[in-house]
Chain A
Amino acid sequence: MRFRGKLVDTACIQHFSRVLGTIAKLCKTCVLRITADKLYFILLEKVVSGGTHTWCEVTQSHFFDEFMLDGLSKEDNEIFLELVPENLLRAMKTAQVAKWIKIKLTKKHTPCLTVEVDLPTAIGLSRNVVHYISVTVLPKRLWSDYEEPEMPEFDVSIALPALKLLRNVVDKMKSMSSYVIISANHNGEMKLLTETEVALVCTYFKDLANPTWKSGLDAHFFRSPHRSNVDKREFFDVKVDCKKLAQFLNVQQLCPSRVICNLNANHLIHVTLLHDDFSLQYFMPAVVS
């Protein structure tokens, strides 16, 4: 098993650090799946600690100038690593102005992801900084746990407003209550509602788009069997953990081009972030009350 990648462009380095930063904020440990053309950061949270699920796909060629992979075998040309994203982020943080960064899978005492950074110096010499981040290589029998999640059924799909705005609202609600109810309808309306014993706060968003999925898919995914009969103004609610939602909304630093949220009433929310060179899917189960 061999893996080596080289980042050269400063913009790529910074963008990759931002992706890592987002991942690191969401969880303590994650699984990095490396394939010939993509990197996947997969976070599977235990049900007791919230049960969220994140699937982040990064197109390798958009970031890496050199990329070499010898996977487990010819048929399974992939590597699954378990690592602490925070460590990788720390290594990248002091390397923002680097001439190049090499990321390699190496074997020290334990398997390591070696991050080699070449920094410029005042007198034109290069300064080498090496970080050894120990990782766990996952055996093939565990790979199936980290397969791409299936698109869940949903009642309504809505394009979210600017995440920064949303985050500000949720941050305020966080201090009031630990839960927030997200509701949306087919009329491009969404609301965030939270309540305490003495107050009820609801934020309304309107004129949002209801993306249409491919016609074939539509029929499959929409739970409501007779869409024509459904009142367009009927709201579907999902009650979720406010802290988790606020934590997730930190992804706004990635400036995604499009964010779509699918709601499965009283069951889960599924948020998809789309960007030129990466995509991120986030699943958050509803809180039963």
Chain B
Amino acid sequence: MEPIEIGIAVSAFLLVIVVLGMRVAFAAGIAGLVGLFWIFWAKFGYEPDRFGRAMTIAVKTAGQVPHSKVASQSLSLIPTFILIGYLAYYAGLTKALFEAAKRWVGWLPGGLAVSTVFATAGFAAVSGASVATSAVFARIAIPEMLKLNYDKRFAAGVVAAGGTLASLIPPSAILVIYAIIVEQDVGKLLLAGFIPGAFSALVYGGLIVSMALVWPKFGPPVRGFTWRQRLAALPPAFPIFFVVFIIVFFIYNPFGGDPWGTPTEGGALGAAVVFVMALINGLKWGQLKEALIETAKLTAMIFTIIWGVLIYVRFLGFADLPRAFSDWISGLDQAPMLTLVMILLAYAVLGMFMDAIGMLLLTLPVVYPAVMALNGGELVSAADSTFGMSGPMCAIWFGILVVKMAEFCLITPPIGLNCFVVAGVRPEVSVQDVFRGVAPFFVADALTIAGLVAFPQIVLWLPSLA
């Protein structure tokens, strides 16, 4: 068999064992190892006496991946941002945000769900990890919604979807990874995430309000807060603005002049600021220990998927499947905008089965140059370009679109990580419940993405000021 055929066969095998219930990280590792062995043994012409040699090469090649792939500076942003999220939770910031959102927008139809969306958007500004955001809000928002008789599946869906905002609104680990892969300005990319993130939150809110208007049995609004109570809810949430200020200024200085450092430092300093706030709010050693262990647990889960998927990706490299994919995309004879939309759809499909980071790592080296070429090259001016934007602006626009797609795949079955995490935190909700509850948000995300494709200015206005 040709390597590419082996690549397709092993990918099908991976799909089967994941559906059969093998834990995803290990399923990917097994598929990768089996695939590597197959490739090497095929190269030896399946000679029986070289079976052991092929096995040794496959095992040693796979054995490199875990250390090799995790020992990376850019990936260090992931545990840092998870830690910020947990510390913010122990510092009381999540509850404060939720309370403030409840008092200000709870009166809307479906008010608690709308509040949840806006509180997750606010929390997104101190959290770089979507999964962590969903995890903390599953703890505080779902019980309150259940008390008011919201459908448990929808309540879980709101939290799973709301969590995805954390990767568009800075700080965002995944935007940083995109910037590093495509060698673009991290500051401008992060800045570009603000408005699309807020736009996404508004679309989510609009969707919830419409649903509440259509179905009268939807959760009731929370009324009766006085203006005094509303104002009183703001100061406890205020520290979050301070954190936003610190992190943003460290990554990008909106008023001109030098920013204060690199993204890696900015993220870690953000964590330090939240830590000091948690201390001021009376963080105990026991709680810090709990936050550290919870961070370790979520980090271990995410990194195990990362290295597991990367063993599989390493095998794909030997099978040369990425190149076949790229040839196919660039050989299409059709309108560039249609190709772009097809690439985004391909991400939606791929994202259903792959970890977001693994997916970006695997595809961007191939897809990004193709998109740049579609637009007319890296150095093209806005006037000469296909999509009406300069090369660097196209890189930012495509980055936001891809990250939004990667976020989308956090809530799509069968491997929507956010849904698993919400189900993991809430015992009364199963994964299937969350997937059912989150389904309406697919529509909202489709609308958001269509909006960002049709009106690139939503993405590009802020970075173009810089």
A and B from one assembly?
A: no
